[in-house]
């Protein structure tokens, strides 16, 4: 049975500090209970402050990086050193600053063709299966787009629950989007999800996703409801202003 919680913070800084502390707690629990911590990172602007905090000694020293494995929710089909790459953002802000082994960083190969990259990532996930087609993530970070998308699950897309990763060709903010994304099946299998949203521009869509009618095809963020895990919305006051 899933549990949903909404936590509202005055600022993105407060939100990020809370997320960092909870992430450390979850990592320690996972390593103590299962010997490793599996975390799936997202792109976008909201998690960047969290990544920055985790790269500093106050927080970084509390994580057992040798037993931490990083994955990604989705990726743009660009080279790994491209500023638009979700992997590059996490690498530049966090991973290059901490002692995580290279073999523990499991990026989506965005330099490949989308279908090839999706197949390759699904195969990689299969090597971690415990015991299904993909690993059960200890923590997944998700963001919320102004159109209701999350990861690269865009409005109008059809859920494919039998897959772990799929290629995406869509138009986003007037631009063609060739991407690879994990699916809602992987997200909903997680032990914990932090759904992060900040800013006044997210107020309408946050209200719609949480309080509005259920329309997961139009608002893919509504597809996220862990079957046996915890879903925590971490939002600032500006984003939460229209919530009931």
pLDDT in tens, 138-160: 999 999 999 999 999 999 888 77
Q: Give the model's pLDDT for residue 3.
A: 56
Q: What pLDDT sits at residue 158? A: 80
Q: Is the dihedral of CA 195, 196, 201, 203 positive or negative?
A: positive
176: pLDDT strictly greater than 70? no
Domain boundaries, given as residue ranges, for the chain: 3-240
Q: Say if residues 203 and 239 touch (Cβ distance below 8 Å).
A: yes
- Cross-strand partners of 167: 180
Residue 131 pLDDT > 70, yes or no?
Answer: no
Instruction: Please report, for residues 84, 101, 107, 122, 179, the alpha-carbon distance to residue 115 in angstroms, rounded to integers and kept in the order given.
Output: 19, 28, 15, 11, 9
Its pTM stands at 0.95
| CATH C-level class of 3-240 | alpha beta
Per DSSP, 10 falls in state S
215: tokens are 């329309």
Cα–Cα distance for residue pair 69/71, rounded to 1 Å: 7
**Model confidence at 129: pLDDT above 90:** no
pLDDT of residue 35 exceeding 60, the answer is yes
Q: Is the pLDDT of residue 218 over 80?
A: yes
Helix (H, G, I), strand (E, B) or coil at 204: helix
Q: What are phi and psi of 238, to 5 degrees?
A: -65, -40
Cβ atoms 117, 107 nearer than 8 A: no
């Amino acid at each position: 049975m899933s549990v949903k919680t909404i936590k509202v913070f005055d600022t993105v800084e407060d939100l990020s500090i809370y997320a960092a502390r909870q992430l450390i707690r979850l990592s320690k629990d996972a390593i103590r209970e299962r010997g490793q911590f599996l975390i799936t990172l997202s792109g976008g602007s909201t998690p960047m402050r969290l990544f920055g905090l985790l790269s500093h000694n106050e927080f970084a020293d509390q994580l057992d990086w040798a037993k931490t494995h990083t994955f990604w929710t989705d990726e743009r089909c660009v080279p790994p050193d491209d500023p638009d790459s979700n992997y590059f953002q996490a690498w530049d802000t966090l991973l290059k600053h901490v002692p995580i082994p290279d073999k523990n960083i499991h990026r989506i190969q965005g330099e490949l063709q989308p279908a090839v990259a999706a197949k390759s990532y699904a195969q990689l996930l299969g090597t971690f299966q415990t015991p299904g087609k993909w690993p059960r993530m200890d923590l997944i970070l998700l963001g919320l787009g102004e159109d209701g998308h999350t990861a690269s699950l865009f409005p109008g897309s059809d859920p494919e629950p039998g897959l772990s990763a799929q290629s995406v060709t869509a138009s986003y903010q007037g631009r063609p989007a060739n991407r690879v994304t994990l699916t809602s099946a992987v997200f909903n299998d997680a032990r914990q999800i932090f759904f992060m949203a900040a800013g006044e521009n997210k107020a309408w869509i946050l209200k719609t996703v949480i309080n509005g009618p259920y329309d997961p095809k139009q608002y893919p963020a509504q597809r996220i409801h862990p079957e046996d895990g915890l879903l925590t919305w971490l939002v600032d006051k500006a984003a939460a202003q229209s919530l009931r």
